[in-house]
């Protein structure tokens, strides 16, 4: 009996390309991430416990994740609405609005932070109008959320937009002919179909917000236990030559971010199975 020859692959070169991909991924992503726990290994158990339970550290991490979650939730709603308007309606300034959405991608984060701080400061163009209402944005946690909304909005819009373009408008028209209102048709027909894309945009905006630094430090005020974010605290520990403490804080953020993103990915997979079933 002759051994049956393996069937040739349609696209050759799988082995070399996979090897190159894994090597590149290891050098660019895995190796730098592995240095974080290695740096923290020099800490004793008591030192790790002191860093993990430190009130300033816990507040900074909680503020970073809380502000990122709030901004990503706002962007999930506003970004979906903006994507809907760009796809379903044609208006004179459509191309201009479409170009402005990508501005946070190209704009240096420090420039964005300075601009937002100037706008929302008590003497700024927007801040001075909010002051009589008792609203203070700049140099508060609310300013952090505003900055993260600015940098995270494009992720939701650009993720939801192609899914809406692929969704035939006749689906919405059919719901309308059956007597459904616009909101009911959107909630029961459109939203389940674009839900995974919205969750993807939410996850991307969340991931960007957790580690954002440049656009936040100028508008946050950076007051310990008030408006100090975890990336800034890591930078402070590095300036103090406390590399192990900085690595431990980074490790806590990495673990929490991974758990959040894993949960969101599982929700996306569940949503796709539900739609497919």
> Per residue in 97-142, pLDDT tens?
888 999 888 888 889 899 999 999 988 999 999 988 888 999 999 9
Q: Is 15 a member of any domain?
A: no
Residue 263 sits in a domain whose CATH number is 1.10.3720.10
Q: Within 13 A of 271's CA, how many CA atoms are on the CB side?
A: 16
Q: Is 213 a member of any domain?
A: yes
Supply the pLDDT for residue 182: 67
Q: Is 188 a member of any domain?
A: yes
Domain count, the chain: 1
pLDDT tier at 226, thresholds 50, 70, 90: very high
Q: Is 50 a member of any domain?
A: yes
Supply the pLDDT for residue 159: 92
pLDDT over 70 for what percent of the chain?
Answer: 91
pLDDT over threshold 60, residue 214: yes
Q: Is 85 a member of any domain?
A: yes
Q: Is 267 a member of any domain?
A: yes
pLDDT tier at 149, thresholds 50, 70, 90: very high
* Angle separating helix axes 243-276 and 31-40, nearest 10 degrees: 130
Q: Is 206 a member of any domain?
A: yes
**What is the span of the domain harbouring residue 59?**
43-276
pLDDT tier at 274, thresholds 50, 70, 90: low
Give the mean model confidence (pLDDT) for residues 75-91.
91
Supply the pLDDT for residue 153: 94
Q: Is 130 a member of any domain?
A: yes
DSSP state letters, the chain:
-PPPPPPPPSS--HHHHHHHHHHHHIIIIIHHHHHHHHHHTTS-HHHHHHHHT-HHHHHHHHHHHHHHHHHHHHHHHHHHHHHHHHHH---TTHHHHHHHHTHHHHS-HHHHHHHHHHHHSTTSTTHHHHGGGT---TTSHHHHHHHHHHHHHHHHHHHHHHHHHHS-HHHHHHHHHTT--HHHHIIIIIHHHHHHHHHHHHHHHHHHHHT--HHHHHHH---TTTT--HHHHHHHHHHTT-HHHHHHHHHHHHHHHHHHHHHHHHHHHHHHHHHH-
Taking only the tens place, the pLDDT of each residue in 153-185 is 999 999 999 988 888 777 777 767 777 676 777
């Amino acid at each position: 009996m002759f051994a049956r020859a393996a069937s040739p692959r349609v696209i050759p070169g799988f082995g070399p390309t996979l090897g190159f991909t894994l090597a590149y991924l290891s050098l660019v992503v895995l190796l730098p991430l592995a240095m974080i726990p290695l740096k923290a290994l020099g800490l004793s158990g008591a030192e790790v416990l002191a860093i993990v339970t430190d009130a300033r550290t816990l507040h900074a991490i909680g503020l970073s994740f809380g502000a990122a979650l709030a901004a990503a939730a706002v962007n999930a709603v506003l970004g979906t609405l903006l994507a809907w308007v760009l796809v379903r309606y044609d208006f004179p300034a459509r191309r201009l609005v479409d170009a402005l959405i990508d501005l946070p991608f190209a704009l240096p984060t420090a420039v964005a932070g300075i601009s937002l701080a100037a706008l929302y400061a008590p003497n700024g163009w927007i801040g001075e109008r909010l002051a009589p209402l008792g609203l203070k944005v700049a140099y508060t946690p609310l300013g952090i959320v505003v900055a993260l909304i600015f940098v995270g909005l494009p992720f939701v819009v650009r993720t939801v937009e192609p899914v809406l373009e692929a969704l035939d408008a006749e689906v919405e028209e059919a719901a309308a002919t059956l007597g459904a209102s616009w909101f009911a048709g959107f909630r029961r027909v459109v939203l389940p179909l674009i839900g995974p894309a919205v969750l993807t945009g939410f996850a991307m905006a969340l991931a960007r917000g957790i580690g954002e630094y440049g656009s936040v430090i100028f508008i946050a005020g950076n007051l310990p236990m008030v408006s100090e974010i975890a990336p800034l605290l890591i930078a402070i520990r590095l300036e103090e030559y406390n590399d192990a403490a900085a690595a431990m804080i980074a490790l806590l953020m990495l673990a929490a971010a991974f758990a959040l993103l894993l949960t969101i990915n599982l929700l996306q997979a569940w949503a796709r199975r539900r739609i497919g079933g």
